[in-house]
Amino acid sequence: MTAERTAEAAHAIETVFRLEAPRIIAGVTRIVRDVGIAEELAQDALVAALEQWPDAGIPDNPGAWLMATAKHRAIDLVRRKERYARKLAEVGRDLEAAPPHLDEPSDPDDIDDDLLRLVFTACHPVLSAEARVALTLRLLGGLTTAEIARAVLAPEATVAQRIVRAKRTLATKNVAFEVPYGPERAARLGSVLEVIYLIFNEGYAATAGDDYLRPGLCEDALRLARLLAALMPKEPEVHGLAALLELQASRSAARTGPSGEPVLLRDQDRRRWNQLLIRRGFAALGRADAVSAGGPGPYALQAAIAASHAHAHTYAETNWEGIATLYGLLAARAPSPVVELNRAVAVSMAEGPAAGLALVDALAGEPALRDYHLLPSVRGDLLDRLGRREEARAEFERAASLTRNERERELLLARAQACSTERGNSYSQGPHQPLQ
C-alpha cells in the first residue's frame, strides 16, 4: 500500500463523507431513533472506511458503502442493547427482510423522506429555537461548530453547548423520528423553513474554507424545500422559500470564475443563469401569492427581490427602487440588522451612496454585526463610490480580516489594494440574502 494510494483514499473518504453524512445520519436515525447515536454510528462508518479503503480500494458507490456500513452497525446496536428492544421489535422484521447491500445505493426517495424527518425531528418544540437551528445545521448541513456560529452570529462555545444539549433532550424526551401532522406540523414549520434557508445560504456563500460555493448544501436545501412544498401545498411561506432558493440557485454557475474566484452580480454573465430554475422560481412565487391571505411573508418578499434581479436582462436594468421598497416591507415584517444592511445597499443603488452610507452608519453599534464582515465591506464600497479612498481601503482590510472564506478574503484585499492605486469595480452585489 503506497502513501499515494493512502492519500487518495483519505481524500475520497473526506469528500464523500462530507456530502453523504446528512443522509447517513438520517437513514440511521430511522433505525435507532436517536440523532446523537446516529451521528456516532456515521462516524464509525467513516473510521471503517479509513481502515479498509486504502487496502481494498475505493468502492464503486462509496456513499452506498458508508450508508450500508452505518446501517449494519445500527442493526447490531439495536440487537445488543436491551433498552432498544422495543425499537428492534418495531423495525427488525423489515430490516431482516430487506437488509442493505454494499453494492446497492439507497432509494433516493427514501433518503429524501429521511432527511425531511430529520429536519422535523431536530425542530421539535422541546428544543429552543436557537438549539433547533444549530442542531439541524450540524446534522443536515454537515457544518462545523465554527461555521454554524458564523451563520447564526453567535459565539462558538454557545453553539457547541446548544448542540450537545439538544441531542440529550431529544434522547431523554423520546422524540419520535417522523414528519408530524396537523397543528404540530404547523408549530414546527417556522424553524424548519429557517434551517433549510440557512443550509442553502451556507452553500451559496460558504462562511469558511477555500471554496466560495458549496453546491451540495444548496442541492440538499433545494430538495428539502421542494419536498416541503409538495407536503404542505397550502402554506404560502413554504412556496415562498422554494421560490427564493430556486431563483438564488439559478445564478450559481455565474457566481464564480474559472479558478473559483467570486464574480460579483454586476459582472456576471446572465446568459449563464439557469432559466429552468428561474421559471421554477417564478412558478413557486405565483403559488405563494395564490394561497396567501395576509400579504407576502418574509420568504415570499425575499423571493420577490430575487425575481426582480431575474427579470433584469442586464445589471443596468435592475429596478433598484422597487428592490429598496421590497426591503422596506421585509424590514417591517421581519426586522433584523442584516435586512437593514441589505436595504442600505438597495437604497445606495436607488438614491446614491451617501443615502446608503447614512443607513449603514446607523448600524455601526449593532452587537450582532460587530464581527460581520459584510458590514465593513458594504461600507467600504460606499466610501469608495464617494471618493473617500483611504477610508474605503481601511474598511475593506477590516472586512478581509473578519471573513473566514479564503476566496472572499482575496477579493476584499484586492478591493483594498485598488483603493490605493486605481478605482476598482463596485463591490456591491445588490442585496445579499440575510443569514438570519
**DSSP notation for 333-353:** HS--HHHHHHHHHHHHHHH-H
pLDDT digits (tens, 9 = 90+) for 303-357: 999 999 999 999 999 999 999 999 999 999 999 999 999 999 999 999 999 999 9
Tell me the mean pLDDT in the region 68-89. Answer: 73
Mean per-residue pLDDT over the chain, rounded: 84
- Which residue is associated with the grid cell 499515494? 4
CA-nearest of 279, 365, 32, 346 to 175 is 32
DSSP 271: G
- pLDDT of residue 179 exceeding 60: yes
Q: Residue 205 in contact with residue 159, Cβ under 8 Å?
A: no
**φ, ψ dihedrals at 208, nearest 5°:** -150, 165
Buried b (16+ CB within 10 A) or exposed e, 238-267: bbbbbbbbbbbbbbbbbbbeeeeebbebbe
Helix ranges (H only) for 176-317 are 182-204, 215-231, 236-249, 275-291, 298-311
pLDDT digits (tens, 9 = 90+) for 231-275: 788 999 999 999 999 999 999 999 988 888 889 899 999 999 999
Q: Residue 201 in contact with residue 433, Cβ under 8 Å?
A: yes
* Assigned C-alpha cell, 249: 440557485
pLDDT at 7: 74
* Assigned C-alpha cell, 284: 413557486
pLDDT at 426: 43
Tell me the mean pLDDT in the region 107-128. Answer: 73
404 DSSP β-pair partners: 208
CA-nearest of 147, 160, 232 to 192 is 232
**CA distance linking residue 244 with residue 303, whole number of Å:** 4
Torsion region of 33: left, alpha or beta (phi above 0 gives left; psi -120 to 50 gives alpha): left
Report pTM: 0.72
- pLDDT of residue 428 exceeding 80: no
Q: How confident is the model at residue 79 (pLDDT cuts 50, 70, 90)?
A: confident
In this predicted structure, which of 104-113, 131-140, 199-208 has the lowest mean pLDDT? Answer: 104-113
**CA distance linking residue 241 with residue 31, whole number of Å:** 30
CA-nearest of 229, 137, 131, 154 to 189 is 229
**CA distance linking residue 199 with residue 138, whole number of Å:** 10
Tell me the mean pLDDT in the region 398-420. Answer: 92
- pLDDT of residue 100 exceeding 60: no
**CA distance linking residue 216 with residue 241, whole number of Å:** 18
* Assigned C-alpha cell, 161: 453547548
- pLDDT of residue 14 exceeding 90: no
**φ, ψ dihedrals at 405, nearest 5°:** -95, 120
